[in-house]
Amino acid sequence: MSAHEKTQEYQRLDAAHYLHPFTDARALAGKARVIARAEGVYLWDSDGNKLLDAMSGLWCVNAGYGREEIAEAVAEQLARLPYYNSFFQCATPPAIELAAELARVSPPGFNRAFFTTSGSEAIDTVVRVIRRYWQLRGEPKRVNIIARENAYHGSTVAGMSLGGMAIMHEQGGPPMPGVARIRQPKWFGEGDAEAQTPEEFGAIAARALAEKIDELGAETVAAFIGEPVQGAGGVVVPPPNYWNAVQQICDEHSVPIVADEVICAFGRTGAWFGSETFGIRPKLMPVAKALTSGYLPMGGVLLHDDIADVLAEGGEFAHGYTYSGHPVCAAAALANLKILREEKLIERARDDIGPYLQKQWQTLADHPLVGETRGVGMLAALEIAQKNNNGNSKNDNDKNNNKNNRRFQCDPPAGIQCRELCAANGLVMRAVGDTMIIAPPLTITRAEVDELINKARQSLNDLASRL
Ligand code: PXG
């Protein structure tokens, strides 16, 4: 059987049997791209095509593909102790060592970790922890969690409810009660470039939180949750004053901040945690993804002493998963964190390759199809939009289509077309509507960044000749 015949066989079986996440099965049928192997920043599909993976899988492979150290640590742990749990006063060496290692790399005051298998489970754990915390503090009315539009916090019922993705709410039935929503700090399209500075807009977006706390009554608010940079929402980098203002509002009302670090942690923004990049002082930090660089599924919640101490005093916390602290996943995480630390990949993201990536990415801003570029650390986005020379469009009142953001009206949408052209040019870029986003491995070299930018520019040129 030739490689291509094998691919067709995979695609036939896939269409018949495999229900994919977040996928329109009709659009996919028989066309799945089968990724067969990977090394460094590159993927190969089952036809042998080579692709530069500018998304680190799904925002997770920070250490790059093909790390023997992680494979060996996993194999060793599988042979020694493939599974044991952390219930009933037990634990395993990798889980203990990982909790201690996370305390070392976390901001001051973060000394304890609870482990899960995914980001979504980490978010569910946050809800359980924060409600239990307020119960123990004698304020059981504090159950409401304030979250933002266009946020992504996972796919379980709690994750979907806290998330602000309209399509998930439409399909999800009644969401979890006790969630309140405020606007996102997204300058492009929601800020008014003619009447405001980004800082003025940032202050307004933060004030929405103060107004929501007042409306609900601070005595009913358990927490505010936000991604330091909204990832799946399209790499929404907030105006520089936004998080300071949010922090101040939360301090004034004793509302703990939950920084959803599932994408931002472990170097993505050029620090161990996105909270450090933006000066956030959270009380809880859900993590996942790059905790193991995606090599095995693992997540967790890092707890500030202010919360952990209250929980520890409160007797049994009736919450846990069979795979909490799975020893093999923990071994993968330890090997991965060792790589990040010893190869100084976080410092490199902050001082060297991150600034280089941002500088090169900005060169795309001049492209006729690009309305804005933005980014931080090893995250970046560009908006495909019609450049607006006269400052006006007939859709001025439409949030997603206003005077500094005129979208193309086409089918398939411009973002999807761009994504397909990127793939044809050997580049994996993700489309969120007409926003193109990247989050490459932290190990990417300068030459590979140049290749990424060239392929992105080529794909935008190809798109321009189509539109
Ligand atoms: N919080 C954030 C900020 C996330 O990005 C989750 C929680 C949930 O994690 P799990 O491990 O349960 O998936 C995520 C996950 C996308 C995409 O299309 C993003 C995520 C997951 C799937 C797709 O960008 N983020």
**Does the pLDDT at position 393 exceed 90?**
no
464 Cα to the center of ligand 1, angstroms: 31
What are the tens digits of pLDDT across the range 310-369? 999 999 999 999 999 999 999 999 999 999 999 999 999 999 999 999 999 999 999 999
Sign, CA torsion 76/79/85/89: negative
pTM for the structure as a whole: 0.96
pLDDT above 80 for 405? no
How much distance in Å is there from the Cα of 392 to the middle of ligand 1?
A: 36
Q: How far apart (Å, rounded) are the C-alpha atoms in residues 450 and 306?
A: 45
Report the top-level CATH class of 68-343: alpha beta
Cα 154 to ligand 1 centroid, rounded to whole Å:
5
| CA–CA gap between residue 113 and residue 116 (Å, rounded) | 10
Q: Is the pLDDT of residue 27 over 90?
A: no
Probe target for ligand 1 pocket from 126, 167, 263, 419, with the most ligand atoms within 8 Å of CB: 263
Question: Which one-letter amino acid corresponds to residue 296?
Answer: L
Ligand 1 atom closest to the CA of 121, numbered from 1: 12
258: its two tokens? 């939950």
Domain ranges of the chain: 33-62+352-466, 68-343
Give the chain's mean pLDDT.
95
Quote the tokens at residue 2: 């030739």
159: tokens are 């994750």
Q: Are 299 and 117 in contact (CB under 8 A)?
A: yes
- In the block, tokens 């192997």 appear at 37
CATH 3.40.50.970 fits 33-62+352-466, yes or no: no
Looking at residues 160-181, what average pLDDT do you find?
92
pLDDT in tens, 234-269: 999 999 999 999 999 999 999 999 999 999 999 999
Residues 6+ apart with CB under 8 A from 139: 219
Q: How far apart are CA 175 and CA 180, in angstroms?
A: 11
Q: Which atom of ligand 1 is nearest to the CA of 437?
A: 24
The tokens for 86 are 């952390």
∠ Cα 328 330 334 (to 5°): 120
263 CB near ligand 1 (under 6 Å): yes
Of residues 12, 100, 4, the one with CA closest to residue 46: 4
Is the distance from the beta carbon of residue 125 to the nearest atom of ligand 1 less than 6 Å?
no
Q: In percent, how much of the chain has pLDDT > 70?
A: 96
> CB burial class (10 A; 0-12, 13-18, 19+) of residue 369?
buried
